[in-house]
Amino acid sequence: MTKKVAVIGYPVKHSLSPFLHGYWLKKYNIDGEYGLLEVKPEDLKGTLARLESDGYVGCNLTIPHKEEAYRILGNNTGITAHSVGAVNTIYMQYGELWGSNSDVYGFVQNILNSHSDFDFTKGKAVVLGAGGAARAVVCGLIGEKVPEIIIVNRTVEKAEKVKEDLLKISDHVDGWEDNSDIKVVHWDERNEIVKDANILVNTTSLGMKGQPELDISLENIPKNALVNDIVYNPLETKLLKNAMEHGNFVVDGLGMLLYQAVAGFEMWFGIKPEVTEDLREHVLSQMK
Ligand code: ATR
């Protein structure tokens, strides 16, 4: 029987997930379908309740459903979903829906696959932003045992909340406790705080097509630090361009999107798909 999966969003037309999963379904010759479901917020609960009887083996969630899906699934969520407070991947387990957040895996794998010798434990990580994407990134950094994580945000209270939530959760996870010291600083300190950084990650929307540029000086950042932008449209953001000129290693944001999809595909279809240059080109061609 054809295995059906879809991305649920509102709106959802812009989603790149069908191209991405469609590419792998064809490549691995799997009897599967990956479609789009446009679902209004008030209809999400009902749609999820009917998911299995409608013939789906799982789904992805995108804007604006990730946080609500986490609330709906309650205890049927894993540690990554708890940390981020959002679910982006749903699959069936023991006849029930389960939710996870594969952005955490996507962030870490994107870095490690771009720079296999990158050592997260070597020093300080600076994270710009404190939204949902920042939560996934900080969660990934804690998991990789980064000794010091600095969250830089315009609204300090929001960053403090991310810190509080993630420290609370890390207390309950083996191997996480006492590993990462998390600090919060105001946005105005961004140019100085990158001094001694081992990795800098932009999780804000700044630099994205249609958004203001991210204004940050890289004068103080060590030349051997890695700079990652999770923005992937445009692929080469001003931050990455400046970092390259400064001599830093850079990692663009497209890989996070591709690697987060690996986790879902493997759960639904039983094959761990490969992220290749050809796949990147395929997805990029849909963005033009
Ligand atoms: P997501 O959940 O996708 O990460 P979000 O919750 O809207 O998105 O978060 C966007 C991030 O970009 C926030 O950290 C936001 O800062 P605030 O918490 O102060 O709002 C940050 N951001 C957006 N526009 C910004 C700007 N002009 N200057 C500084 N930070 C900005």
Domains delineated in the chain: 3-101+256-285 (3.40.50.10860), 104-252 (3.40.50.720)
CA atoms within 13 A on the CB side of 161: 12
Ligand 1 centroid – CA 35 distance (Å):
30
Reduce the DSSP state of residue 116 to 3 states and report it.
Answer: coil
Please give the DSSP secondary-structure letter assigned to residue 104: H
What stretch of H or E contains 153? strand 148-153
Average pLDDT over residues 21-44: 98
- What percent of the chain is modeled with pLDDT above 70? 98
The pTM of this model reads 0.94
197 in Cβ contact with 225 (< 8 Å): yes
Cα angle 66, 126, 251 (rounded to 5 degrees) comes to 75
Q: How far apart are CA 253 and CA 243, in angstroms?
A: 14
Instruction: Kindly report the protein residue whose alpha carbon is nearest to atom 2 of ligand 1.
Output: 132
Task: Work out the pLDDT band at 169, boundaries 50, 70, 90.
Answer: confident
Q: What is the pLDDT of residue 171?
A: 75
> Is 176 a residue whose pLDDT tops 70?
no
Digit-coded pLDDT (tens) for 134-164: 999 999 999 999 999 999 999 999 999 999 9
210 in Cβ contact with 233 (< 8 Å): no
Task: Work out the pLDDT band at 178, boundaries 50, 70, 90.
Answer: low
Atom of ligand 1 nearest to the CA of 155: 19
Give the closest residue to 136 by CA, choosing from 112, 100, 171, 168.
100
Task: Work out the pLDDT band at 21, boundaries 50, 70, 90.
Answer: very high
Atom of ligand 1 nearest to the CA of 135: 4
Q: What tokens were used for 264? A: 């879902």
Q: How far apart are CA 260 and CA 149, in angstroms?
A: 22
Is any ligand 1 atom within 6 A of the Cβ of residue 59? no
Ligand 1 centroid – CA 232 distance (Å):
16
Nearest 5°: phi and psi at 108? -65, -45
88 in Cβ contact with 101 (< 8 Å): yes
Catalytic residues: 66
